[in-house]
Amino acid sequence: MSDTEDFAAMFEASLKAKRIEQGQTIEGTIVAIGPEVAFVDVGGKGEATIDVGELKDADGDIEVAVGDRIQAVVVSRSGGLTLSRKLARGAATQRQLEDAFHSGLPVEGRIEKAVKGGYEVRIAGQRGFCPFSQIDIVRTDPSIHEGKVYTFRITEYKEGGRNLDVSRRALLEEEQRAKAAEIKESIVAGAVMTGRVASVREFGAFVDLGGGVQGLLHVSEMGWSRVSDPSQVLQPGEPITVKVLQVDEAKQKISLGLKQLTADPWSRVETTYEAGQVVTGRVTRLSEFGAFVELEPGIEALAHVSTFAPTGRSQGWKSAVSPGMTAPFEILSIDPAKKRIGVALVPEGSARAAGTALPSNQIVPGARLRGKVERHEKFGVFVFLAPGRTGLVPLSETGVGREADVAKAFPIGSDIDVVVLEVDEAGRRIRLSVKAVQAAQEANELREYHQREDAGQAERFGSLADKLRGALEPRG
Residues 117, 132 contacting (CB under 8 angstroms): yes
Contacts of 383 (CB under 8 A, 6+ apart): 371, 372, 373, 374, 390, 391, 392, 393, 416, 418, 432
pLDDT at position 13: 47
Query: ∠ at Cα 151 (148, 157), nearest 5°?
Result: 115
Q: Which residues pair with 150 in a beta bridge?
A: 109
What is the C-alpha separation between 283 and 323, in angstroms, rounded? Answer: 5
Using only C-alpha atoms, the chain has a radius of gyration, in whole angstroms, of: 45
pLDDT tier at 364 (50, 70, 90 boundaries)? Answer: confident
Instruction: Give CATH for domain 362-470.
Output: 2.40.50.140
Give 1-85's CATH code, choosing from 2.40.50.140, 1.10.3720.10, 3.30.1490.20, 3.40.190.10.
2.40.50.140
pLDDT tier at 360 (50, 70, 90 boundaries)? Answer: very low
Q: Which CATH superfamily is domain 190-261 in?
A: Nucleic acid-binding proteins (2.40.50.140)
Mean pLDDT, rounded, for 178-183: 77
What is the C-alpha separation between 375 and 392, in angstroms, rounded? Answer: 10
pLDDT tier at 176 (50, 70, 90 boundaries)? Answer: confident
Residues 240, 196 contacting (CB under 8 angstroms): yes
Cβ-count burial 360-377 (b if 16+ within 10 Å, e if not): eeebeeeeebebbbbeee
Among the residue ranges 147-161, 366-380, 437-451, the one predicted with the least confidence is: 437-451
Share of the chain above pLDDT 70, in %: 82
What is the C-alpha separation between 355 and 351, in angstroms, rounded? Answer: 7
Distances (CA, A) of 403 to 77, 283, 393, 399, 406: 118, 45, 17, 12, 9
Q: Where in the chain is the domain with CATH 2.40.50.140?
A: 1-85, 106-186, 190-261, 265-354, 362-470
pLDDT tier at 350 (50, 70, 90 boundaries)? Answer: low
Share of the chain above pLDDT 90, in %: 25
Q: What amino acid is encoded at 330 in this protein?
A: E
> Do the strands 69-76 and 192-201 form a parallel or antiparallel pair, or are they unpaired?
unpaired
pLDDT at position 17: 40
Give 265-354's CATH code, choosing from 1.20.1630.10, 3.30.465.10, 2.40.50.140, 3.40.390.10.
2.40.50.140
pLDDT at position 282: 93
CATH class of 106-186: mainly beta
Q: Which of 22, 9, 14 is nearest to 45 (CA)?
A: 14
Among the residue ranges 45-59, 140-154, 189-203, 251-265, the one predicted with the least confidence is: 45-59
**Which of the pair, 22 or 235, is modelled with greater confidence?**
235
What are 113-134's pLDDT values in tens digits?
999 999 999 887 788 999 999 9
pLDDT at position 139: 79
